[in-house]
Structure 1
Amino acid sequence: MNIKEVAERAGVSPGTVSNVLNRPAKVSASTRTRVEAAIDELGFVRHGSASTLRAGYSRTIGLSVIDIGNPFFTDVAAGVEETASALGYAVILGNSSGSRAKEERNLQVLAEQRVRGVLITPSDEDPARLDRLRARGINVVLVDHPPHRTDQCAVSVNDVVGGKLAVHHLLKGGATSIAYVSGPLTIRQCQDRFEGASRTFPGSLRLIQMPEMTARTGEQAALDLLRTGVPDAVFCANDLLALGVLRGLLQAGVRVPDDVALMGYDDIDFASASAVSLTSIRQPTHQLGRVATELLLDECDRPTAHAHQQIVFQPELIVRESTR
């Protein structure tokens, strides 16, 4: 597939196609729309470099995550980079910030660079954009996400079990009322953790959904709890939320864990170093990155012998000072 074929499909010159790709402001809106439609119809992807063009692919893989500001994804990325480097590959990182549009732009860039494969924690459950990558010959492995199909590799953690572990521990500590502070339930991990917690708690969990899973929004959630009544225990969908809730409660004079038990999820490094060390559900972050990379490069290097695997790790309860 080349620019000439796109030009023929759109009824324009190759130079016009080049302008659409590189200098779109020079092309009228109607012509640009026609050329972009031809690009989509033909599945054209421009080459990122001459050496990549000759080889057909580069010695790079892509990694797309939801939030690189979250230490969970930083640790996963470290596992990916270490493993890829040992096998002679470089890693191109893309951060979607949970945005479908930004994620699609990042994937387009990775395709243009002719990456050997892509590791991705998708921003939503629609597999269409990943199917397009596979159709272009770019292998895809899901990270921290169950598979969309059996003919695809995926590594994930059983977050339903993680939610159960969290609430079971809080119940053992005497909690009779529990709030679940979460990001949007459209995020699979938040939904699964909520499902596991709800299955375990005999009553109704109080749900507080925040637009982002950060320490800042955790502090905002703490204000909500203080305004409407602090429960016996708070379970947060990740450690950043929990650290924000902890800060908000302590500033208001609420004692943790004497007045309220608090726990997070992921067991990032900051969890053990906070003012009150945080009970958390540990995920094998480095191992997630390592295994995902090994699966991806095995599929790239041994396409006929490769066997797709869907690997599910089990989370672990880590008890510290913030719970009874």
Structure 2
Amino acid sequence: MSTTDTSVIHDIRDVARVAGVSIGTVSNVLNRPHMVADTTRERVEEVIARTGFVRNASARHLRQGRTRTIGLVVQDVMNPFFTEVARAAEDAATDSGYLLYLCNSAGSPEKEAAYLRALVEQQVSGVLLTPLQEIPAVMNTLRARGTPVVLVDRASEQPDQCSTAVDDVHGGDLAASHLLSIGRRRIAFISSTWSIRQCADRRAGVRRALRRARLSVRDHLRELVVPEMMTPAAGEQAVEDLLAEGLPDGIFCANDVLALGVLRGLLRHGVKVPQDVALIGYDDIEIAAASPVALSSVRQPTAAVSRRAGELLLEECDRPAEHRHQQLVFMPELVIRESTGGHG
């Protein structure tokens, strides 16, 4: 094959022959281009571009035992909060030359575990995980194999594991304190099961705010538990349940998706928001400000939480000897709009 013959380009050796360089030089162009002289690198890149050569990543991954990929397992890809998580994590990955596999557990512990096992089989370099409830056992299997796992939106209890989380107790306190500050004394907290850490923490925050105001939890708080997937339909059903026993004058929902369903149910029944019932959600997803009555919410710094988690994971993947584990906690903030009497 001559140096101008491009009829058969099967592997890196063919690229080397066509470009008239060594195999090692082609390898450097592909993996360490800064080590190759500009004219030589440009000649090799021209051959690669002209021939459409694609290197065999599978063989390289088998030799290295890892890939330039990471996995992200989220609880509910339909929830805009997790969409933002995925977007920020992907930004961190691509900035470091990694690809991201997005896996949706859809509220199923079995599906979550299956995805984690599949990521092991794909030899990903690391995993970002927003766990459903208890930490899945397969996560420890991953870590035992040397695959880093960083928890997102969940504090790790292990000092040798990174995590990024939000102080949800403070967030629940912010929401309840705001309702109390505008004179609401019959408060409903609508959430999913308390086995979900975020829900339990937000509940603890609500109770803390009531106790600080010297109000009885028993007399001033009603707690409704909806299915684990906090959907608009679950919010609408919660309104039916509340109407059956008498509406409160303030409602706090554990996420905005649930709150938007509650808002729709209240408006359908002719309940005025915020005049009759003040309503506040959690997450401050983009649509919260654009709802029929602009929704007050507790804003999580979602992009920062997710991007920092991605950066910590990639640091551990690329520089394990230098990496220092961190458990980072971010603070939420209150955003007041029309649904609690603000001006949106």
Alignment of 1:1-324 (within 5 A): 49-201=58-210, 202-204=215-217, 205-211=221-227, 212-324=229-341
Check the 8 A contact 2:190/2:254 in 1, yes or no: yes
Q: Percent identity?
A: 56
* Structure 1 counterpart of 2:282, one-letter code: Y
* 2:223 aligned counterpart, secondary structure: strand
| 1:49 Cα deviation after fit | 4.3
* 1:179 aligned counterpart, secondary structure: strand
* 2:72 aligned counterpart, secondary structure: strand
- Of 128-137 and 66-75, deviating more is 128-137
| 1:100 Cα deviation after fit | 1.1
Calculate the TM-score normalised by the size of structure 1.
0.84
- Of 272-281 and 298-307, deviating more is 298-307
CA distance in 1 between partners of 2:131 and 2:157 (Å) = 11
CA distance in 2 between partners of 1:51 and 1:99 (Å) = 34
| 1:278 Cα deviation after fit | 0.2
Cα deviation 1:253-308 (Å, max 9, x = unaligned): 00000000000000001100000000000001111111001000101111111110
Check the 8 A contact 1:215/1:240 in 2, yes or no: yes
- How many residues in Structure 1 have an aligned counterpart in Structure 2? 277
CA distance in 2 between partners of 1:280 and 1:164 (Å) = 12
* Structure 1 counterpart of 2:257, one-letter code: L
- Following TM superposition, where does structure 1 have runs of at least 4 consecutive aligned residues deviating by more than 3 angstroms? 48-51
* Structure 1 counterpart of 2:253, one-letter code: C
* Structure 2 counterpart of 1:120, one-letter code: L
Asked which structure has the greater CA Rg, the reply is 2
Cα deviation 1:100-119 (Å, max 9, x = unaligned): 11011000111111000000
Check the 8 A contact 1:49/1:113 in 2, yes or no: no
* Structure 1 counterpart of 2:320, one-letter code: P
* 1:208 aligned counterpart, secondary structure: strand
* 1:265 aligned counterpart, secondary structure: strand
* 1:142 aligned counterpart, secondary structure: strand
* 1:322 aligned counterpart, secondary structure: helix
* 1:244 aligned counterpart, secondary structure: helix
Check the 8 A contact 1:143/1:156 in 2, yes or no: yes
| 1:51 Cα deviation after fit | 3.7
| 1:199 Cα deviation after fit | 1.2
Check the 8 A contact 2:171/2:298 in 1, yes or no: yes
Structure 1, gaps ≥5 residues long: 1-47
CA distance in 1 between partners of 2:157 and 2:99 (Å) = 26
CA distance in 1 between partners of 2:136 and 2:234 (Å) = 29
- Of 230-239 and 93-102, deviating more is 93-102
Calculate the TM-score normalised by the size of structure 2.
0.79
CA distance in 2 between partners of 1:96 and 1:109 (Å) = 12
Structure 2, gaps ≥5 residues long: 1-56
CA distance in 1 between partners of 2:207 and 2:186 (Å) = 12
* Structure 2 counterpart of 1:117, one-letter code: G
CA distance in 1 between partners of 2:60 and 2:322 (Å) = 28
Check the 8 A contact 2:117/2:138 in 1, yes or no: no
* Structure 2 counterpart of 1:148, one-letter code: E
* 1:151 aligned counterpart, secondary structure: coil
